[in-house]
Amino acid sequence: MSPPVATVEALDPHTATRAAEVLAGDGVPPGLVDFHSHLVPGVDDGARDLGEAVRAVETLAAEGVRHVLTTPHLDASVIARPELFDRQQLEVEEAWFSVVDACVDRDPPMSFHLGREILLDTASPQLSDPRVRLNGGPYVLVEFPRLNLPAGSEDVIGHISGLGYRPVIAHVERYLYQGDPVPLWDEWRHSGAALQVNAASYVGRYGAAARELAWRALEMGWVDLAASDYHARGRPWITQAREEITAAGGAAQERLLFDGNPRSLLRGEPLEPVAALDRNQGPWSRMRRFFRGR
């Protein structure tokens, strides 16, 4: 079954028709799903204009992405103000489908989808509007303010789960933890969350601390999804991250993180568990042990 599409109707008829052709149906071209990015021009700290957004789509395509679910920032407090939210959402939709319209005839074909990355600036976010969820389905991409973690973050996650949605906590490796993050990750997971790591963290693009936490979460089997969090400039680092994980002995984990589970998310289906990664079993590790005489 195709995931629901909640936003096409608000657009002008020409763009709506072409967008619907891309979004509808089960004819999914092979390729990766990237479900966390900032490609809507002029609405947040991502793409600044249409040209930059289109170039960003081409950059993702070169990384093997064939399904783009972009997620402009949205404060949870704005959702509680319907007039303000509706006005902002219409701006987002019009800008995004200008990108869709510019890219819809590209070859190879891609599918384009819309969600939001919700900043949890309130403890009780309202999530009944499908436009605030990922492709209108049961998953909700969330982040905490300024990479800081408020007390009781697990209660907010539990609130979202209690509403019947699955929170996906963005870039868990990048928060400013006070002490060991593992107990908090454990609480988030038991509160119903899926954990997402940015591809660039696996190759050190956010610094040594984020890289260490990204790998630690993978070694524990606690990462559910990987995404680009691409802001339309520079590189998404998807290919490099996949190569490093595979070289570390994580071919099966890489497939689930970058393909299998993001595809399930896009369709609103359950995620598969990602096995813990034993980096000592990777080919490079075995080669190092061989030359060390082990």
Q: What pLDDT does residue 257 have?
A: 98
Share of the chain above pLDDT 70, in %: 85
Q: What pLDDT does residue 148 have?
A: 86
> Which residues on adjacent β-strands are paired with residue 226?
197
Per-residue pLDDT tens digits for 140-183: 999 999 888 988 999 999 999 999 999 999 999 999 999 999 99
Domains and CATH numbers, the chain: 8-291 (3.20.20.140)
280 pLDDT higher than 90 = no
292 pLDDT higher than 70 = no
Q: What pLDDT does residue 281 have?
A: 67
11 pLDDT higher than 50 = no
Q: Which position has the higher pLDDT, 97 or 3?
A: 97
19 pLDDT higher than 80 = no
Q: What pLDDT does residue 77 have?
A: 98
Mean pLDDT, rounded, of the chain? 89
Could you tell me the pLDDT band of residue 274, with boundaries at 50, 70 and 90? very high
Could you tell me the pLDDT band of residue 283, with boundaries at 50, 70 and 90? low
Could you tell me the pLDDT band of residue 30, with boundaries at 50, 70 and 90? confident
Could you tell me the pLDDT band of residue 29, with boundaries at 50, 70 and 90? low
- Smallest CA-to-CA distance from 68 within 59, 79, 80, 78 is with 59
Q: What pLDDT does residue 238 have?
A: 98
